[in-house]
Chains A and B, each alone.
Chain A
Amino acid sequence: MRLAELQQQFIKDLTTGSQGSVPMLAGSSAQAKSRLKVYQNSVGAIISDVLADFFPVVQQLVGEAYFNQLVRQYIALSPPQQGNMDAYGATFADFLAESGQPLEYLPDIARLEWLQHAALIAADEPQLTAQAFQNHTEFYLTHPLQLASCAVVLSSAYPVLTIWQMHNQNKVRELNSLNQAEIALICREPEGTVGVWPLQPWQQDVLTLSAQQNLPWSMEQLHTAPQEMQQFIAFCLQRGLWRDNK
């Protein structure tokens, strides 16, 4: 048998639980199945651990056993494609949305957790600091300000940030309704910690519009109060939200 055929069958066995490669293995059929199972168990356990690390609140919400069951289904449908496991799980939220699992907000919790992971490993690039902004204010007020690659905004129809904080940070927060939309800002701050904060709709609009034109133009479009705007800009600079494009 050619190596390509062997590997195609073996890797299919590992991701789907089939046993088609058993005739290619040395030893009795029973022993070959048992040894194949070692690799099947290992692959399933490693991927479950990786995804539990990336999606801790998703795991908490559904419980370890059901989480592992979902992971097995996910592996069979969308197995990893790269040797670098940091890249695996980007479509887990979409899978959860179509998996028939009962928690309607769960896919957005998964999105929130994936974006935190992505922010943590995003490529390093200069983040605009308050000092740089102060030294070259005219430049930054007349040019578009793009979010850094380690910063992203997530809009959800559910109170996704509240739910996540209640579970991940043991924050006692009041959850009045599941139909309460929330916007979350995810950013890796300059010292390396990934933080998550709630955003108001006007703040999300400021980020969108200032990326298109500039900050003063976004204020004009949104009729934002100068004091609120000043506080928000200070917040963004402190978190290193914008890429320094000077």
Chain B
Amino acid sequence: MSLSSTTLQPLGFGLRPGHMDDVLQKRPQTGFVEAHSENFFGGGPLRRKLHQAREHYDISLHGVGLSLGRADGLDQTHLQSLKALVDDIDPIRVSEHLSWSSYSHTSVPDLLPVPFTNEAFGIFCNHVDEMQTVLGRQVLIENPSNYLAFAQTDMDEPTFLNNLCQKTGCGLLLDINNIYVTAHNLNRSATEYIDAINPSYVQQYHLAGYEEVPTEQEVLYIDTHGEPVHDEVWKGYSYTLNTIGDRPTLLEWDTNLPPLERLLEEVENIAVVRGKTLNTEEAA
């Protein structure tokens, strides 16, 4: 069966400050762009440029620092800054991570793994509820890349995410690259993970490149967002399209930032893989 191109979901790329001027000048055709929320909390030229981009593109806002998995209360200053940005930009989607990065008076710039315990689940649900109430809209939660697991666990990650969506009404941003990074690092099956996700909760996909980093004992996959999408992740994207279905898909590239044209080529590659998988003919 062949799908009409009009039914295909938009493709886009992560809009990083290093590409902002180029994008505003060249205005490449793309389905949507995604900005890291925290990059635009301040005023000044960058925030003004995001406004300019909003005139030409649908924008999704993707947060990395709210720390929804923290055991204590959410940082209200951070949440209000996010609300101000969301009200200002009116994004098509708002997302955050299944992770934590702050506790008490300390915060680190990384997406730390959540232990999949009943206690952590209850806390995470409360924080997602709070975020959605303050923002006045649904948010999407993304699966992170993990490099370790905790000894104490009451459920697996897909169950945690499915139950989270069922309980809070949030949606899922499924990062295919992160699924493969975590599966490799924790010796799990990526396809079993994808099979376990309830398709009705998934509203967006992320694709990115990881780096293979040898340690003394093993080779780990590190989610650097600094390389092209790997072959096994392309295969995983095809598998996900067949299993869950077509969704808006975004390419993330954050380190070793290539020229904009190279980024757009990789978005074109998403269209090619999707076209072959779903038996459609399309251009990005």
* A residues lining the B interface (CB < 8 Å): 1-4, 6-8, 10-12, 14-15, 23-27, 30-32, 34-39, 42-43, 46-47, 50, 79-86, 120-125, 150, 188, 191-193
Contact = CB atoms under 8 A, between A and B. Distances in A.
Contacts of A43: 108-110
Given A25-B150, A47-B109, A79-B107, A85 B38 contact: yes
Contacts of B147: 35, 38-39
A4 B72 contact: yes
Contacts of A46: 109-110
Given A122-B42, A124-B44, A39 B112 contact: yes
A84 B44 contact: no
A122 B150 contact: no
Given A8-B104, A38-B147, A80 B109 contact: yes
Interface in B150-193: 150-153, 185
Contact of B71 (A4, A27, A79): A4
A3 B78 contact: no
27 contacts: A2-B71, A3-B119, A4-B72, A8-B103, A11-B103, A24-B152, A25-B148, A27-B148, A27-B149, A32-B148, A34-B217, A38-B222, A39-B110, A43-B109, A46-B109, A46-B110, A47-B109, A80-B106, A82-B65, A83-B38, A83-B66, A86-B41, A120-B44, A122-B42, A124-B47, A191-B45, A192-B45
A193 B185 CA distance: 44
B43 A122 contact: yes
A167 to B, nearest CB: 23
Interface in B114-153: 115, 117, 119-120, 123, 147-153
B256 interface: no
A15 B106 contact: yes
B184 to A, nearest CB: 13
Contacts of A42: 110, 222
A123 B46 CA distance: 11
B108 A14 contact: yes
A26 B156 CA distance: 14
B220 interface: yes
Contact of A82 (B103, B107, B153, B218): B107
B105 interface: yes
A150 B44 contact: yes
Given A3-B115, A34-B216, A121-B44, A83 B150 contact: no
A11 B113 CA distance: 11
B240 interface: no
A124 B44 CA distance: 6
B225 to A, nearest CB: 12
Interface residues of B, number: 51
A57 B109 CA distance: 23
Contact of A81 (B46, B72, B105): B105
Contacts of B38: 83-86
Contacts of A188: 44-45
A240 to B, nearest CB: 12
Contacts of B151: 23-26
Contact of A83 (B101, B218, B220): B101
Contacts of A32: 148
B48 interface: yes
Given A7-B70, A192-B45, A84 B106 contact: no
Given A6-B115, A82-B77, A150-B44, 15 more contacts: A3-B117, A4-B103, A8-B103, A15-B106, A34-B216, A34-B218, A42-B110, A43-B110, A79-B107, A82-B107, A83-B101, A84-B38, A84-B65, A121-B41, A191-B45
B111 to A, nearest CB: 9
Nearest to B79: A83
A50 to B, nearest CB: 7
B110 A26 contact: no
A82 B101 CA distance: 9
A192 B109 contact: no
Contacts of A122: 42-44
B64 interface: yes
Contacts of A34: 215-218
A121 B17 CA distance: 13
B72 A26 contact: no
Contacts of A24: 150-152
Contacts of B215: 34, 37-38
B95 interface: no
Contacts of B102: 11, 82-83
B204 interface: no
A229 B217 CA distance: 70
A25 B150 CA distance: 4
A230 B46 CA distance: 33
Nearest to B66: A83
Contacts of A37: 215
